[in-house]
Amino acid sequence: MKIAIASGKGGTGKTTLATNLASYLAETGPVILVDLDVEEPNSGLFIHGRELAAETRYSLVPEWDADRCSFCGLCQTICNFNAIVDLGDRIMLFPELCHSCHACSELCPDEALPMKSRRIGRLRYIQAERLDFVESRLDIGQEQAVPLINQTLDFVGGRFRNGTLQLLDSPPGTACPAIAATRTADHVILVTEPTPFGLHDLKLAVATMQALDQPFSVVINRGGQTDNMIADYCKQQAIPVLAGFANDRRVAELYSRGRLIYDQLPEFKQQLAKIATFVTSQEGIKA
Amino acid sequence: MQEIVIISGKGGTGKTSLVAAFAQLSKTELVVADCDVDAADLYLLMHPDFRLEQAFLSGEKAQLDQNGCDQCGLCQAACRFEAIELRAEQYTINALDCEGCGYCARVCPTGAISMVEQKAGDWYRSTTRFGGAMVHARLGIAAENSGKLVSLVKNEARKLAQRKGLETILVDGSPGIGCPVISSLSGADLAILVTEPTISGFHDLKRVRRLVEKFHIRIGCIINKFDLNPEITDQIQDWLDRESISLVARLPYSDVFTEAMTRGQTAIEYSNGTLSQSIRNSWDAILQLNNER
């Protein structure tokens, strides 16, 4: 069972929810928390434990073999990502633009572009007191998060086969990284806040989930007494709202120090329990 | 011409609210570019007029004509993205998985696969209520290539600035450190990093700073919600000192941003309090930092 925790807008509380929910659920059953926000992974700041594995991750990109090349120029024509320029006396490669499609390498008549590994980031597997935690971080300067996100999902899929509950802390937005992180989930929880930005970006996230044909629900964070804009929208669209966390400066302060919230604030725990109940009921459906 | 980029690493630090306030404060007309294309919220505060709308073509995707297909399976073997499946005895291409590399179309012996240009959103050229110009975009649903759209928005902003003889481009960047952020930073003169005193905010600030470093441009930092955790604010300030990054401003934790946003206003329009004064000072400090180049 895979539950992705996502949001259109950044900074709405994905990591707060993911880390608290993972710890809370781990009190009653096995949980794996996976941080797929590889550009800015933060869950690891809240989860501490023993590192069981640390692996450098790579993507495959072509490398130019000058001795074999006859400068036919085919590679430059083939590459749809402008990652190859034939300068006549040498071939210039832009590995950060390469999508690892292998076309240039395999179609080169001179076999002058063998594929070689190139480092993109690092994955860590940590055993915390109650739960397992996997995170990947993209190397600074790497442009493409998606290959690392997919490799992280593969790592988790390979290591934990027994249907353990996975919580995926996903990247913000609605572009490729967010899609890669949420599309394989069984259910997506969209975290939002009752502000015009929150509502605007929620609508984009909802449309994205509908396009992916993914089941989803909403959690309202930093709610107030009077701001019903998210609740009204969800009601109108028949989108289930799992819980609502009040706007509370104490939450922001606990978060700022890297602390979990639910063991400190009973009203937070009460809302968290509603989400936990939903997640476990989904597991029942799945099983 | 100079480009000032506001970025944050971590989302939700107040970047967009600040950009709108700065755009209003600017005494000279400027071009604002919303490069946070997959959460393009800036228009909710700027109220641009969407004067010109154009399609954003993001690149190609493979399309298979079943009539021409002789089911040899070469396309499936070539595809590294598992985008081609044999389903009910027909090869089908899943558009979401297709990266548009064109390898399948090249190896197809019958020419049944063609590469088709995709529309992945719209971009706009607008005039704003503050008198300046704005270039902004809307990424299509489940569309990709946001980095390319960011480059387009920036290029159009440059062209517009040149044509109108405007000196400054103010860019609202996106969170993270990936391709949209890299595209936002390329060609910039000054990067303002907006952070908050949380361990996540500080962590993300350090990562985005290492990215900005690669561009060899001047950097300033705004600590928003500085009173949320004074201890981490001190740590951030010490770190900024050591890294020789100018502290542009510290802004207090305040509901004014949210209240202003709810009314479709900038913070300085909505309130004349201490936060607004601090934002005014921030903009002056940014201009000064920019002039020091």
Q: What confidence score (pLDDT) does residue B143 get?
A: 85
Chain A residue numbers with beta carbons less than 8 Å from the beta carbon of B100 are 80
Token couple for A164:
């353990």
Q: Which string of b and e fits A206-226 if b means at least 16 CB within 10 Å?
A: bebbeebebebbbbbbbbeee
Domain boundary among B119, B151, B167: B119
Q: Does A232 touch chain B (CB under 8 A)?
A: no
Q: Could you tell me which residues are beta bridge partners of residue B114?
A: B63
Residue ranges for chain A with pLDDT beneath 70: 162, 225, 284-287
Q: B108 and B14, same structural domain?
A: no
Chain B residue numbers with beta carbons less than 8 Å from the beta carbon of A107 are 103, 106-107
Q: B73 and B15, same structural domain?
A: no
Helix (H, G, I), strand (E, B) or coil at A161: coil
Angle between helices A266-286 and A14-26 (to 10 degrees): 70
Residue B53 resides in a domain: no
Residue B199 resides in a domain: yes
What is the DSSP code string of B64-109? E-GGG-----HHHHH-SS--EEEETTEEEE-TTT-----HHHHH-T
Q: Which of A42, A78, A174 sits opposite B203 (nearest CB)?
A: A42
Could you tell me the sign of the dihedral formed by the alpha carbons of B44, B46, B52, B57, in that order?
negative
Q: Which of A37, A102, A103 sits opposite B102 (nearest CB)?
A: A103
Q: Write out the H or E segment, with its range, that includes residue A168.
A: strand A165-169
Report the C-alpha gap between A39 and A84 in whole angstroms.
Answer: 26
Residue B54 resides in a domain: no
Contact B39 A197 (CB under 8 A): yes
Query: Hey, how many other C-beta atoms are within 10 angstroms of the C-beta on B131?
Result: 12
Contact A42 B225 (CB under 8 A): no
Contact A80 B101 (CB under 8 A): yes
Residues 6+ apart with CB under 8 A from B36: B15, B16, B42, B172, B173, B174, B175, B180
Report the C-alpha gap between A242 and A275 in whole angstroms.
Answer: 6
| Distance of residue A98 Cα from the nearest chain B Cα, in angstroms | 10
Helices and strands of chain B, counted as H and E runs: 11, 11
What is the DSSP code string of B138-190? EEPTT---HHHHHHHHHHHHHHHHHHHT--EEEEE--SSSSHHHHHHHTT-SE
Q: Which of B78, B175, B262 sits opposite A40 (nearest CB)?
A: B175
Task: Give the HSE-up count for residue A135: Cα atoms under 13 Å, Cβ half-sphere.
Answer: 26
Map tokens 């004509």 to a residue.
B65
Residue B178 resides in a domain: yes
Tell me whether 0.85 is exceeded by the ipTM. yes
Could you tell me the sign of the dihedral formed by the alpha carbons of A21, A7, B204, B284, in that order?
negative
Domain boundary among B92, B119, B146: B119
Q: B151 and B239, same structural domain?
A: yes
Residues 6+ apart with CB under 8 A from B94: B83, B84, B85
Find the closest chain A residue to B11 by CA distance.
A10
Q: B182 and B209, same structural domain?
A: yes
Q: Does A118 touch chain B (CB under 8 A)?
A: no
Contact B141 A140 (CB under 8 A): no
| Distance of residue B65 Cα from the nearest chain A Cα, in angstroms | 21
Contact A140 B182 (CB under 8 A): no
Helix (H, G, I), strand (E, B) or coil at B2: strand
Residue B28 resides in a domain: yes
Domain boundary among B97, B119, B141: B119
Q: What confidence score (pLDDT) does residue A285 get?
A: 58
Report the C-alpha gap between A121 and A154 in whole angstroms.
Answer: 15
Residue B221 resides in a domain: yes
Q: B210 and B261, same structural domain?
A: yes
Residue B225 resides in a domain: yes
Q: B224 and B101, same structural domain?
A: no
Contact A39 B210 (CB under 8 A): no
Chain A residue numbers with beta carbons less than 8 Å from the beta carbon of B201 are 256
The per-residue pLDDT for range B12-52, each reduced to its tens digit, is 999 999 999 999 999 999 999 999 999 999 999 999 999 99
Q: Does A195 touch chain B (CB under 8 A)?
A: yes
Q: What confidence score (pLDDT) does residue B142 get?
A: 86
Q: What confidence score (pLDDT) does residue A284 get?
A: 65
Q: B256 and B147, same structural domain?
A: yes
Find the closest chain A residue to B214 by CA distance.
A141
The per-residue pLDDT for range B171-225, each reduced to its tens digit, is 999 999 999 999 999 999 999 999 999 999 999 999 999 999 999 999 999 999 9
Q: B194 and B95, same structural domain?
A: no
Contact A255 B59 (CB under 8 A): no
Token couple for A10:
């950044």
Range of the domain at B211: 2-47+128-291
Q: B160 and B16, same structural domain?
A: yes
Q: Does A174 touch chain B (CB under 8 A)?
A: yes
B187 exposure class (CB count in 10 Å sphere: 0-12, 13-18, 19+): middle
Q: Could you tell me which residues are beta bridge partners of residue A2?
A: A166
Find the closest chain A residue to B265 by CA distance.
A196
Token couple for B218:
């001047």
Q: What confidence score (pLDDT) does residue A287 get?
A: 44
Contact B99 A172 (CB under 8 A): no
Helix (H, G, I), strand (E, B) or coil at B45: helix
Q: B133 and B102, same structural domain?
A: no
Q: What is the mean pLDDT of chain B?
A: 96
Token couple for B91:
């090869």
Find the closest chain B residue to A252 by CA distance.
B228
Residues 6+ apart with CB under 8 A from B108: B74, B75
Q: What confidence score (pLDDT) does residue A191 get?
A: 98
φ/ψ of B75, rounded to 5, equals: -60, -45
Contact A207 B141 (CB under 8 A): yes
Token couple for B85:
């499946």
Which of left, alpha, beta for B187 (phi over 0: left; psi -120 to 50: alpha)? left
How confident is the model over B58-85, as a mean pLDDT?
Answer: 96
Would you say residue B100 has pLDDT above 90?
yes
Q: How many domains does chain B have?
A: 2
Q: Does A20 touch chain B (CB under 8 A)?
A: no
Q: B154 and B191, same structural domain?
A: yes
Helix (H, G, I), strand (E, B) or coil at B227: helix
Residue B143 resides in a domain: yes
Would you say residue B293 has pLDDT above 90?
no
Q: B135 and B114, same structural domain?
A: no
Chain B residue numbers with beta carbons less than 8 Å from the beta carbon of A174 are 38-39, 139, 141-142
Q: Does A263 touch chain B (CB under 8 A)?
A: no
| Distance of residue B262 Cα from the nearest chain A Cα, in angstroms | 6
Could you tell me the sign of the dihedral formed by the alpha carbons of B92, B97, B100, B103, in that order?
negative
Find the closest chain A residue to B120 by CA distance.
A175
CATH of the domain at B108: 3.30.70.20
